Amino acid sequence: MSNILIEASNISKIYDPDIFLKRGKNYYALNNVNFQLEEGDFTCVMGPSGSGKSTLLNCLSTLDKISLGSIKIMDTDITSLNKEQLCQFRYDYLGFIFQNHNLIPYLSLFDNIAAPILLAHVDNKKIKEKVLEIAKTLDIDKLLDKFPGECSGGECQRAAIARALINNPKIIFCDEPTGNLDSKNSHRVLKLLSELNNQGTTILLVTHDAMIASYAKKMMYLYDGGIQSVIYKHHGSQMDFFKKINEITTQDSILKEFSEDKEDTSEKIEEVKVEQDKEIEAIKIVNKEKAFVSRQNVYMVIDGQPYDEQIAKRNTLFHIDGTHIRYMNQNNDEIEFDLTSIRQIHLNLKAQFVNFGLFSQFIFYPIVDMDSSEGTYLFKAKNKDDFIQIIQLFHQFNIPIDDPRQIEEAYKKYPKDYERTKFFQRTHKDLTQYDKADNVNGVTGKKIP
């Protein structure tokens, strides 16, 4: 199994969807976001109010449903699970720490912490041993007989952390876990989370505080429902990481202020953006393997050529400018390479059954694997009628193409998408078998199990 615990591909969350097009637009809390969380990560999500931080956390943690895209947790497509399966999945693998500790007021701290494993009918002796062990680690072992109302905010929050850890979850989701705590207790809680992370627990945390974020290993900055910046701590100090985080959040505030000033703003905004890019570049990830983390859904666009804006909105843009390629990988790192470095391209097909009832149909997408000396770039191209232009570009640069399914010939013979789809359905029946093709709801776009 991969060490990738969460993989979100092109996810969007639409609130109050405009189904009948009365408003003419939808309101996106998240818009075409890619996200990956690897085992052992401690990732922090920041952004201004309304940027989509909590929405992203809720969608990734199965507490909320996405409108578009897909989310896999530990290789399980959670968008295909029913309510009972989701509950069991949360119980088995996930832990939650909220801004309000959400302890049950009429239960003692012991019973609050033990509640999750009581549901599993664990032996009473083992329950007591486990609760005492975790409580001692969090320095609340002498408070277990007390009720939440008799404890301080910091003590209650530590009890909530103990409750989240009692089942040894693979991932802990934290939504502003220190929002109601004073500075001393906030740092105490974050030190505990940092220690847990060093022991192997994977953490995803949402906060608005740069100092809290500095305890993480990676910071993702959201703005208007999209990931704007990603920075990594690497081997730097916590203070250096804090300064970089603070620079990004401060510069974002300046940009926002400038955008409200109608006079002479463009030059000021450009100056701030240049400085911000320099700071981000200084700590940008340097790891070529990040280009090969997984297969991505991309929409290939030749710069200067017309393209389908609706398809582009729902997928990662794969820009082709001459021989220069650029796109954002699942970790939101900017990947760039040159087509002249590609030794061979392998083409294949992927079938998807879109369930529209009587109007159900198969859709075929080209699989494009680009071999280089550094590794193989893996893509599923969401292009339709315009993919022949991409193939011709590959030929223009004399890149050998392995095309066992004769995809290029099909695009030349059947330039219209619906004609080509019928041809693929006739000639590639192995792809349309029940266990081979993805079954997708035509209205919601979600995979059907």
- Report the C-alpha gap between 366 and 214 in whole angstroms: 42
Cα separation, 211 vs 139, in Å, equals 23
Query: Quick check: do 4-232 and 290-441 share a fold?
Result: no
Classify residue 321 as left (phi > 0), alpha (psi -120 to 50) or beta: beta
Residue ranges of the alpha helices (H) in 166-265?
Answer: 183-198, 210-213, 238-259
Three-state secondary structure call for residue 94: strand
Can you point out the beta strands (E) in 16-88?
A: 27-38, 42-46, 68-73, 76-77
What was the pLDDT predicted at 88?
87
As a whole number of angstroms, the distance between CA 38 and CA 41 comes to: 6
> In CATH, what is the architecture of 290-441?
Roll (2.30)
Distance CA(297)–CA(438), nearest Å, equals 14
pTM: 0.74
Q: How high is the pLDDT of residue 171? A: 93
Would you kindly state where each structural domain of the chain is located, as residue ranges?
4-232, 290-441
Strands (DSSP E) found in 295-387 = 296-302, 316-321, 324-328, 334-338, 342-355, 361-372, 376-381
User: Mind listing the pLDDT tens digit of every residue in the chain (449 residues)?
Assistant: 458 899 998 898 887 655 544 555 667 788 889 988 989 999 999 988 888 898 999 999 998 888 888 899 988 888 888 888 888 888 889 999 888 888 999 999 999 999 888 777 778 888 899 899 989 888 899 999 999 999 988 888 889 988 988 888 899 999 988 877 778 778 888 888 898 899 889 999 999 888 889 999 999 998 888 888 888 888 888 888 888 888 887 766 555 555 555 444 455 445 544 554 544 443 343 455 667 777 888 999 999 888 888 888 888 999 999 999 999 888 788 889 999 999 999 999 998 887 766 566 788 999 999 999 888 999 999 998 899 999 999 999 999 999 999 999 999 999 998 899 999 989 988 888 766 666 655 445 556 55
The answer to whether 78 touches 86, Cβ cutoff 8 Å, is yes
C-alpha closest to that of 349 among 425, 262, 265, 439: 425
Task: Answer whether 202's CB lies under 8 Å from 171's CB.
Answer: yes
4-232 maps to which CATH number?
A: 3.40.50.300
Output Rg (C-alpha) for the chain, integer angstroms. 25
Q: Is 314 exposed, middle or buried (0-12, 13-18, 19+ CB in 10 A)?
A: middle
Residue 72: phi, psi to the nearest 5?
Answer: -115, 130
User: How far, in Å, CA of 365 to CA of 417, rounded?
Assistant: 11
Beta carbons of 166 and 109 less than 8 angstroms apart: no
**For position 98, what pLDDT does the model report?**
85
